[in-house]
């Protein structure tokens, strides 16, 4: 779908690379410009694949599929010249330097606009591009804490807990890719590029949903409530005779179907409506787990499914990636890595129409080795520049 769009990715670690990978999954050509030492995440491990001189982290493999890699030291004239040549031919530039760094390297927003008036620049920072703390460096866990996510995550208010994935980075990348697509749509009408900005702080604040309005509208300060929903009951994790299951009774009709299964009267005054059930959550949970303790998770899941009550087990990642439903959605892809051979990676989460595979590509490219495409990308630039010179001569 993005065939013909060229993206230059000078970002590193995760937020920017994730955004660029999303565009690559949709068919854009993404050229990753790395320092001679490589993206920081190439060294983030264990686990690693291969050994010593060819070592590659599985972290890097997670966010750089469908890209080419060229190396350039942007502190040198030669490195800056290569980036300038790339920018002239690009549609999108992705960067996640601290505010002002790209400008000091000679690529301010004004300079980029001069080089390519149609360029869309995606700029991702830790805490924003301005404001009293706009210059702070941002890493995912720091942002999770500063932006409040850890205060509503975990077993209880006294135990702030980070998410199990770098969610601030991933969300910032997703928002960034979303902004780029909007800017590409605008450019089709105006011919002009634009700077798209987001941050790890913005990404977290942007997904608080009902937790955000609990404070801005109701004046409450939300805290962690473990594995149970703070505003809906019963909605959470419950123990059975052998393993926990999750149940989501998100409406009154669901409650009326669920209650008899566990031996409760749906019209009982303490539980008749959701506000009553939330107010008496502890008693309700005890009643449900007392019933659930009499049979296995499999038995309860079958009963709940038969009644149309949303429920599920808690899987580890080995189970998820072996699950037939996961496989049926094309969420794992096989790629041939130039050094490691066949690798299986988590794939794009989007499908279109009747495609059996995920993303807009039928065939995915492996994450590149450092500098793997130095020669081919420079040859491509040389060819384009030679063709431009020839057109200029004919025009004269």
- Beta bridge partners, 56, equal 49
Q: How many CA atoms lie within 13 A of 196 on its CB side?
A: 29
Dist CA 75 CA 37 (whole Å):
13
Is 305 a residue of the active site? no
Three-class SS of the chain:
CCCCCEEEECCCCCHHHHHHHHHHHCCCEEEEEECCCCCHHHHCCCCEECCHHHCEEHHHHCCCCCEEEEECCCCCHHHHHHHHHHHHHCCEEEECCCCCHHHHCCCCHHHHHHHCCCCEEEEEECCCCCCCCCCCCCCHHHHHHHCCHHHHCCCCCCCCCCCCCCHHHHHHHHHHHHHHHHHHHHHHHHCCCCEEEEEHHHHHHCCCCHHHHHHHCCCCCCCCCCCECCCCCCEEEECCCCCCEEEECCCHHHHHHHHHHCCCCCCCCCCCCHHHHHHCHHHHHHHHHHHHCCCCHHHHHHHHHHCCCCEEECCCHHHHHHCHHHHHCCCEEEEEECCCEEEEEECCCCCCCCCCCCCCCCCCCCCCCCCCCHHHHHHHHHHHHHHHHHHHHHHC
Cβ atoms within 10 Å of 358's Cβ, excluding its own: 20
Instruction: From the candidates 9, 25, 91, 169, give the one annotated as an active-site residue.
Output: 169
Give the active site residues.
169
């Amino acid at each position: 779908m993005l065939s013909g769009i060229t993206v230059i990715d000078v970002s590193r670690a995760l937020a920017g690379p994730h955004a660029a990978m999303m565009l690559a999954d949709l068919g854009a050509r993404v050229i990753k410009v790395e320092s001679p030492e490589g993206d920081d995440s190439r060294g983030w491990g264990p686990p690693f694949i291969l050994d010593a001189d060819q070592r590659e982290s599985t972290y890097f493999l997670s966010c750089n599929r469908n890209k080419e890699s060229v190396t350039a030291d942007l502190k040198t004239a030669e490195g800056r010249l290569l980036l300038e040549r790339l920018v002239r031919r690009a549609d999108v530039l992705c960067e996640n330097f601290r505010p002002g760094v790209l400008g000091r390297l000679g690529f301010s927003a004004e300079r980029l606009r001069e080089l390519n008036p149609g360029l869309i620049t995606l700029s991702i920072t830790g805490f924003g591009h301005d404001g009293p703390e706009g210059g702070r460096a941002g890493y995912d866990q720091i942002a999770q804490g500063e932006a409040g996510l850890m205060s509503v995550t975990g077993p209880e208010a006294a135990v702030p807990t980070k998410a199990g994935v770098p969610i601030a980075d991933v969300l910032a990348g997703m928002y960034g890719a979303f902004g780029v697509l909007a800017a590409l749509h605008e450019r089709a009408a105006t011919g002009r590029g634009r700077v798209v900005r987001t941050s790890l702080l913005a990404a977290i604040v942007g997904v608080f949903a009902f937790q955000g309005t609990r404070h801005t509208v109701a004046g409450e300060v939300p805290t962690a409530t473990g594995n149970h929903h703070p505003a809906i009951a019963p909605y959470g994790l419950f123990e059975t005779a052998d393993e926990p299951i999750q149940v989501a009774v998100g409406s009154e009709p669901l409650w009326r179907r669920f209650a008899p299964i566990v031996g409760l009267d749906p019209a009982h005054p303490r539980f008749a409506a959701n506000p009553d059930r939330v107010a008496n959550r502890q008693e309700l949970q005890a009643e449900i787990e007392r019933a659930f303790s009499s049979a296995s998770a499999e038995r309860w899941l079958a009963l709940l499914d038969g009644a149309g009550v949303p429920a599920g087990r808690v899987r580890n990642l080995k189970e998820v990636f072996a699950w037939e439903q996961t496989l049926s959605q094309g969420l794992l892809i096989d790629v041939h890595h130039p050094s490691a051979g066949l690798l299986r990676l988590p794939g794009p989460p989007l499908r279109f129409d009747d495609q059996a595979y995920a993303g807009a590509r039928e065939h995915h490219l492996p994450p590149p080795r450092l500098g793997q495409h130095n020669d081919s990308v420079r040859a491509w630039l040389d060819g384009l520049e030679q063709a431009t010179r020839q057109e200029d001569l004919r025009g004269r």
